[in-house]
Amino acid sequence: MTTDFAFNEPRLWDWANGMTSRGVQDSEERLHDRDTKLKMTLHAEKNAIAFATAPLDGSTLFCTHPCCTQCAAMAIQVGIKNVCWPTPSPEFVRRWSNDLALSVEMFHEAGVNVHVR
């Protein structure tokens, strides 16, 4: 992980996690059933990528938390070259350490720079 980077390329800010939109109902029943909610929800990173209006090759993704492996895979596939997130809390690291380590490994192998501030 690095802490210094240049901002001379397209930037992509993550959005919020959200239920799939475009006609899919986000009913109370679905929102309160954790398994259903997790299956139907897009992480903020994927939501940002889905709604991007410019090519993302070479861009920078700013996140509120470290990326999970599925979001890392999507970011790598669309050509994002820098990913930035704040230093995660000890609780976050404890809860997601395996996934976080794997997503960082994926970014490293793909040549994506990870910036933690």
By CB under 5 A, name the binding residues for Zn ion: 43, 68, 71
Smallest distance from Zn ion to CB 99, Å:
9
Question: In the complex, what is the shortest distance from the CB of residue 8 to Zn ion, in angstroms, rounded to a whole number?
Answer: 26
Taking the least distance from each CB to Zn ion, the nearer of 29 and 89 is 89
Would the CA dihedral through 72, 75, 79, 82 be positive or negative? negative
What is the closest distance, in whole angstroms, from the C-beta atom of residue 32 to Zn ion in the complex?
21
If we measure between CA atoms, which residue out of 91, 52, 44, 51 comes closest to residue 70? 44
Residue 54 has what DSSP assignment?
A: S
| Residue 45 falls in the annotated catalytic set | yes
Token pair of 25, please?
A: 């109902």
> 99, 68 in Cβ contact below 8 A?
yes
Taking the least distance from each CB to Zn ion, the nearer of 68 and 78 is 68
Active site residues: 45
